[in-house]
Copies of this chain bind each other. A is one copy, B any other.
Amino acid sequence: MEKGRSGCPINQSLEIIGDKWSLLIIRDIMFAGKRHFRELLQSEEKIASNILTNRLDKLEQEGLLSKNSDPGHKQKYIYQLTEAGIDLLPVLAEIGTWSIKHRPVDLQKYKHAGQVAKGGKEMLKEIRKGLVKVHLK
């Protein structure tokens, strides 16, 4: 049953999202409404195309994203969050809150992050509801 380096809960997450890119992809799908490879390629952090392919495959394999063909476009796939993906919302919220306190963040540009950090549990509940509606059907 145990996968990876240990069964420690911290480690078990890091085995999947312990890198510089995976959570940025989740962020873009969760908060920026991105669904397609090409959109995900265009974020400010400039992920390379081969890394994006690699991470999307891994996140799908590990059950954080679902990948389906886009009925409107023969050669396109739509990426959506699974329940496990949506459940990363509080992780992202705490990571953002930490950065706002301790790192040189740009809250002019990333206004929403400031709102989430201030919004507390109630806001997370609302965001979660919206995500379930959009991604899980």
- Which A residues lie at the B interface, using CB under 8 A? 1-3, 5-16, 18-21, 23-24, 27, 43-46, 63, 84, 87-88, 90-107, 109-110, 113, 117
Known contacts A15-B20, A18-B19, A106 near B10 by CB under 8 Å: no
Task: Give chain B residues whose Cβ lies under 8 Å from the Cβ of A11.
Answer: 24, 44-45
How many copies of the chain does the oligomer comprise?
2
Residue contact A1 to B94, C-beta cutoff 8 Å: no
Of the candidates B8, B20, B109, which one forms a contact with A110 in the assembled complex, judged by CB atoms under 8 Å apart? B8
Given the known inter-chain contacts A87-B98, A94-B91, please indicate yes or no for A105 contacting B12, CB distance below 8 A.
Answer: yes
Q: Which residues of B contact A21 (CB under 8 A)?
A: 14, 18
The residue in A11, A19, A27 that gathers the most chain B C-beta atoms within 10 A of its C-beta is A11
Interface centre among A63, A90, A98 (most CB of B within 10 A): A98
